[in-house]
Chain A
Amino acid sequence: MVSRAGSLPRYMLQRLLLVIPMLFILLTLVFLIMRVAPGDPVSATVGGQLREEELERRRAALGFDRPLIVQYLDYLGDVARLDFGTTITDDQPIMNIVKENGGATLTLTVAAFAVALFLGVVFGLIAGRFRDSAGDVVIRLLGIATYAAPVFYTGILVKMLFAGNLGWLPPNRATSGFTESDVDEHTHILLVDALWQGETEAVVDILEHLVLPAATLGIFICGIFVRLIRVNVLQTLQADYVEAARARGVRESKVMRSHAFRNALVPVVTIIGLQVALLLSGAVLTERTFEWPGIGSELVRYITLRDYTAVQGIITMFAVVVVVISILVDIVIAIIDPRVRY
């Protein structure tokens, strides 16, 4: 068995092929859960104001009168062609919603993730390095508290303090009205467009709006990072190879940098894949709390309208995103850690 470190491409191919069964399982679950939910898509949407014949006609038009297996295969076929369906209530393709509102959600989640990773790494490393100090205890407590607190609750507190009492930052929405009219849309990511066109004022305005929601969501996610990094630093600092490096006279600062930190970050990358799901669900609530014009806000709106196709389409899209990111994470880990390439 001669397996050299170079088998990375083969490993990547294996991972990519795994996308197919993973997606298949997820899509099946989404489809079944939507069908198991009580009520009928059409009657739920229009609230029983129509006569039975009219309901039947509409069901037939949307294809809900066909056997379940046919609907299922149809659904899989659509997703394969990246068609996530069309909303019942306002006849919009889901892809349009993704295009229009995806930029805002992407901005929010990326910013929140950056906040979470930064806080997680900094506090995790401090807590791990100075174990059982007062700082460590405070960091551990905060890590649990922020994770346990619902996003909308933290969001409201943050809004009250920084937007209400202190008045430093805007409480809601992604921009002040003027920004959107100043910036031409190219990428549908307002921040990128504004930066591209050098609209300094607009950039500042967008960033000011971004701070509170990104911090709220980031703080929610960072608790897991803090605790995970702390434990890993503690473990690697006691690892045999760390002691062996010290026995060769390697400086403590170098031991921390190239052994403890690097090795402690591997499990963190693993957890990032799982965190994406949490991040997306957190984003839905955060967007709602801050009236952020993202996909999450749209999802909540369609849920209240009881628009089954819209909900199914958006959730399917989320599922695809989670699968793709978790595969990317697997590949990144394989690059960092040669042992997983087998």
Chain B
Amino acid sequence: MNDRMEPVVSVRDLRVWYGTERGAVRAVDGVSFDLLPGETLGLVGESGCGKSTLGRGLLGMLPEGAQTDGEIRFKGENLRTVSRSRLRDMRGPELGMIFQEPLTRLNPLMRISEHFEEALRAHTPGISKDTVERAALEVLGLMGIPPTRYRSYPHEFSGGMRQRLMIGLALVFRPAFVVADEPTTALDVLVEAQIIRILHDLRREFDTSLLLITHNLGIIAEACDRVAVMYAGKIVEVGEARQVFRDPQHPYTRELLRSTISLSTTGLNYIPGAPPDLTDPPPGCHFHPRCPDAMRVCEELDPIDQELSGGQRVECWLHGPDHLIGVDGRDRLRVREELSVADEA
């Protein structure tokens, strides 16, 4: 659709791993995607699939001891290799982050006004309090926070309001790229809807590209243009959100959608088994031990990124390429029965 637009963020073969006593944990294992200006990309997957690590890795906010490889192209620079001070200068004006737990993300001893002053002064030394206040009140107004609350302390706000404050603190700079890491997980449903609405409207007000990390598929459907499905450190499917939801191409996406609970749900579906140990993931496709459609080739060779006719990209041997699959490669592995037996035992 937007082929002519230059992507804001272009990630190529990004890897993030942590050294542990049991060996390297490959939390992000060769991820590539593009993010267009003003676009919202949803990133979904089970807990522990590497979503948060990917989000933090993009902004260089990984814990000490994490190693990275690959390329994060942003406005002509590789964020993975730029100096720490360059990255610090970009955080705020160019890059923003919204966190999961809004209750602990504001310094309890600082007024909201002081948070804005600190953030803006970090990048514009000597900026006056009035200028800060004007900018802050404008963005807080869009977040539905009344100006009378500007000098309040964090503990005087509810969880939902604090998350709106956090979003305001990120957006006051009008950054080109924001990572929101499960921004509504800690909030109740009504507040969640409100936050999602705000994030959805970002594009109109700020022209910000957003990577929205969540495990809630409803949020993706509501607020995202495209969706990337992550499993065991890899993006297994990415495409237009509607398209992917209507016609999932990867068995994992399909099973994930089948597991969602709604009013029309008659029986509870779930994916048998658990996500793999990332220190020692299964060979070939990481999903094959849990996959109902697993074939012989799936446990032998890593799947290859395929672009399908609908514009979706998927890493699954069901979609080829055929010439790499051996003679008996398409033979079914009878995984499903084994798992069911194991489950009943």
Contacts and interface: CB of A to CB of B under 8 A. Distances in A.
Interface of A: 3-5, 239-251, 254, 258-259, 262-263, 266, 336-339
B155 to A, nearest CB: 5
Contacts of B109: 262-263, 266, 336-338
Contacts of B99: 240, 243-244, 247
B104 A240 contact: yes
A339 B155 contact: yes
B91 A248 contact: yes
A127 to B, nearest CB: 19
Interface string B96-125: 110101001111111000000011001100
A250 B61 CA distance: 13
B108 A339 contact: yes
Nearest to B93: A249
- Which bucket holds chain B's interface residue count? 20 to 34
Interface string B309-323: 000000000000000
B118 A250 contact: yes
A123 B265 CA distance: 61
Contacts of B156: 3-5
Nearest to B97: A247
8 nearest A-B pairs in the assembled complex, by CB-CB distance: A249-B92, A249-B91, A240-B104, A247-B97, A248-B119, A244-B105, A241-B107, A338-B153
Contacts of A338: 108-109, 153, 155
A88 to B, nearest CB: 52
A256 to B, nearest CB: 13
Contact of A244 (B106, B108, B123): B106
Contact of A4 (B91, B96, B119, B152): B152
B202 interface: no
Nearest to A337: B109
A339 B153 contact: yes
Contact of A258 (B88, B118, B169): B118
Contact of B104 (A239, A247, A248, A249): A239
Given A244-B105, A244-B166, A338-B155, 13 more contacts: A241-B105, A243-B105, A245-B107, A245-B119, A247-B59, A247-B61, A247-B91, A247-B96, A248-B170, A249-B93, A249-B123, A258-B110, A258-B118
A254 B118 CA distance: 9
